Amino acid sequence: MLTPEQGPFNRPRSNEPEQRRTGAWIDVFPFRGRDLVVHYSGRRMSLNPALQAYADELWAPKAAKNYTDSWVPFAHRVSFTDGQVRVEAGAMRYHEIEGANKAIEEDLPFAPELGFNNSLSVGFVTGTEDSKVVLQRRPDGVHVPNTLIQEPCGYMSSMQFVPRAQCGDPQYANDPRLFDIGLQLDSKRAEIAEALGVGPESITYDPKQDLLGAGWKTIEMYFSTTGRVDARSQDLPVRDKIETIYVPFDELRTLLLNQGRLASVDPVGYRPDDFKEMPIIDETILALLFGYRKLTGDNSFDPLEAIDKLNQSGLNIRVFDTNPGSDYTFPTSF
């Protein structure tokens, strides 16, 4: 079995990841039980003139309807010590994310060279009282096909702590609440509770994050942890606009290990009845791989062994060296 310090997982320290990857790729920076600190670096994302004009043009119809252009953090530098992961984060506008994502999807010449943008999301895979994982289909209109299933998650955003009408004000780009993982996760807990039809008090989560990742479908960066809902799956109400899939813990390995093969499935019109044949979005693959033990209590599961198998069957997951002293930087301009 390969480890992050061996073979193709080797990475030099203090570097920027290289140019755009292709195919079904996923990058992961495991935290290995360390505490996460997100610090505002004072930086703003800068777009090249062509990308800025493209993003502005895409946003113009929404701006005309008074849509709010909120602030979202982006990862600039990630460094690792014995007990801590430190992320230095800047701020970017939501419409810049939309423009960058669309340019990547359309393979436009001025798109971000890495093939993803380093804006930050948070979320957590949630288990039920009857030992099932709660997964959902993305709604229409999101930048990935809703064939994919995932855990509920979303951007870290100024929209989580100020009214929608004010969340785009410049002062909120450097507001400490924008970079507060606990506050942002609490807002996701409320959203998950609403989606499941329960009160927020019914949901708990582990504040210790498992990883920072990025992948070929999400084309953004994200933190991940695990949570619980104080209810059995059969007791949770059916929601009209949200398709929810409950995966038993004892079927989770099979679903995960199928993802290498399923990465090449054409998502158009693909709607299998068997949840074990459903493709999972990259962020949820990582969340389940590195949160499996916490979620299920099964300590026999080894995420690196599972990654070896997935890499042999169609995925290209790269595990970065996060030993103390490791240090990575990401773009502050596209």
CATH 1.10.8.640 fits 25-324, yes or no: no
Helices and strands (DSSP H and E) totals, the chain: 7, 14
Residue 61 CB neighbour total at 10 angstroms: 9
Q: For residue 175, which of 70, 19, 332 has the smallest C-alpha distance?
A: 70
* Alpha carbons 225 and 286: distance in angstroms, whole number: 10
pTM: 0.90
Q: pLDDT, tens digit, for every residue of 293-332?
A: 999 999 999 999 999 999 999 999 999 999 999 999 999 9
User: Is residue 251 within 8 Å of residue 296, measured between CB atoms?
Assistant: no
Q: pLDDT, tens digit, for every residue of 235-294?
A: 998 776 678 889 999 999 999 999 999 999 887 778 888 889 988 889 999 999 999 999
Q: pLDDT, tens digit, for every residue of 17-59?
A: 556 788 999 999 999 999 999 999 999 999 999 999 999 999 9
